[in-house]
Chain A
């Protein structure tokens, strides 16, 4: 019961602040509400017993990506953009796509549990000597998924180099 209550609290905060992210005029306010969404998604991860992922979510998303967003907003935020039109003119396509998604979503919500064909849930085994979540993730990551892990590090290196090259000031020689 406690888990269900926590889930509903986190889910409500996540969805309300996600809606606020996309309707706020000021980009700074959008960033603040994005932080609220990301933190409540971390809470959702906790209710799913993925403690390591909850920590990664807080550290990488809120501590890394969101801070990067806020830095860029500080660097280039335009006062002028507050007074411009906020929504673009392809509203027909947007309305059609969003309408399809909303109808689909409403149908799922209407049918509730029956709309998903899930395999039977595996019972949780909470043995006293069971390994923790971080240990499970670490073992799987370093034993079975070592190559993808290394490729991910190369991807991050390429991203760092790309970001520096894209954002650097042009030197005199160029």
Chain B
């Protein structure tokens, strides 16, 4: 049996990589992928604690996180397509209509 803190460290690493991806990349598709990475890190944490405490609640929460991730991906990619039709770009620096 693997100790729980192994999973927590793995999840922290994945979450850090996701945050760095969101903050540094300019391609909006890669940013959405980084968000998926962060959600996966959260799921690992939830299921690690579900295993640690032998309660199934964490897995239920992980199912809801996956549901929200699916909804987020569908709406996010819809926005990307609509944005691309208007501005012909995937670069977030050129989407500056509401920038102050």
The residues of A with any CB-CB pair to B shorter than 8 Å are 3-4, 7, 11, 14-15, 18-19, 21-22, 27, 30-31, 34, 37-38, 41, 44-45, 47-50, 52-53, 56-57, 60-61, 64-65, 68-69, 72-73, 75-76, 78, 81, 84-91, 93-94, 97-98, 101-102, 104-105, 108-109, 112-113, 115-116, 118-119, 121-125, 133, 136-137, 140-141, 144-145, 148, 152, 155-156, 158-160, 162-167
Contacts and interface: CB of A to CB of B under 8 A. Distances in A.
7 contacts: A34-B37, A41-B44, A53-B47, A78-B90, A98-B24, A102-B16, A137-B59
Contact of B20 (A11, A45, A94, A144): A94
Contacts of B78: 162-167
Contacts, number: 230
A103 to B, nearest CB: 10
A97 B19 contact: yes
Contact of A86 (B27, B47, B52): B27
Interface in B62-93: 62-64, 66-75, 77-82, 84, 89-93
The 6 closest A-B pairs by CB, nearest first: A166-B78, A22-B21, A159-B71, A94-B23, A163-B78, A122-B54
Given A41-B44, A53-B59, A166-B78, A73 B70 contact: no
A75 B93 CA distance: 21
Contact of B75 (A97, A113, A140, A162): A162
Interface residues of B, number: 71
Nearest to A5: B2
Interface in B11-44: 12-21, 23-27, 29-30, 32-34, 36-37, 40, 43-44
B98 interface: no
B34 A22 contact: yes
A93 B55 CA distance: 40
Secondary structure call for the B interface: helix
Nearest to A12: B10
Given A4-B2, A48-B47, A105 B16 contact: yes
A162 B30 CA distance: 22
B23 A76 contact: no
A166 to B, nearest CB: 3
B1 interface: yes
